[in-house]
Structure 1
Amino acid sequence: MAETQPRMLSDLARGDYSFVDVNKNGVIEQEEINNLAKQVAQEEGFVAPDEEVVAFTTRLFDLNQDGKLVVDELLTGIVLENAVDRDEVTVPEDVFKVFDQDGDGFVSRKEWTTPLGDLGANGEAMKDFVFDRVQYLQRQDGKLDVAETRNALSLLRVAVLGY
């Protein structure tokens, strides 16, 4: 049986990070994050961040800013964080394929917006702004190639995660 192509950015990290939602309710509770931070710090031999730092990080990944960190938000943030390497001019093939749903080697506006999920009250406008900005700066043909997708993800990462 053929493996299903991921449709959302969050799908790319689901297998690796599903353990974070300990109680499997779809919401990552502050206590789950605090316990995970302490566990990782102990295993890796460093001082765990204080709960205020962990709370800030939790808010950072609450992409739609509704006060709840759901699994898809965390996973989308993780993929955004890792999808763009400052030393590369492209994006990983698996990330590009999530956007290039029709397999034509380009990302249309519709293909660009869907995999990103809910980015909050201004999320759709932000997605459109990033797409239009990259188009204005580059080929202006209504679609993103691999390099343009990388640039769009870089802009989006700054807008969403702040860095």
Structure 2
Amino acid sequence: MNIAEKKVVTMHYSVVDKADNTIDNTFDGEPLVFIVGTGFLIPGLENALIGKQAGDTLSVEIAPEDGYGERHEQLMQAVPKSMFDGMDIEVGMQFRATTDDGEQTVIIVDIQGEDVIVDGNHPLAGVHLKFDVEIVDVRDATADELAHGHVHGEGGCDHDHE
């Protein structure tokens, strides 16, 4: 069966940046399982998988615009340290912030005196990525999986949908 929209794909992958720094790797653990077309994967990787089948392997390079997007410097800003009163903050911490465009994850990238520098870019924004992929299995998604938008494990869904 070929990978296409509404198929469940089980795959192993490793991903590195241009300097060959490993970002993530499933080969030593559990494979990734997802439904094609639900927005679970970055577009460049999902598009590269279309038409492949169980047993196939591939290497694909993904430019930022087909991955996590380009970096936008306007998503970095200084906010007063007083916004974090009562909290022990440090570089690398992530928070949900309310912005003009709705909720967004920001990461503390620096603390300068009374200012905290936060970055609203995805940590992999602007990064060229290289994926090595092994397709383990491809199957049709069940009606329940399609209705819920995610893969169910053996025995069905392990949480409530309200």
TM-score, structure 1 length as denominator? Answer: 0.23
Computing the radius of gyration from Cα coordinates, the structure with the larger value is: 2
User: Greater RCO between the two (CA within 8 Å, min separation 6)?
Assistant: 2
Structure with the higher strand share, 1 or 2 = 2
Structure with the higher helix share, 1 or 2 = 1
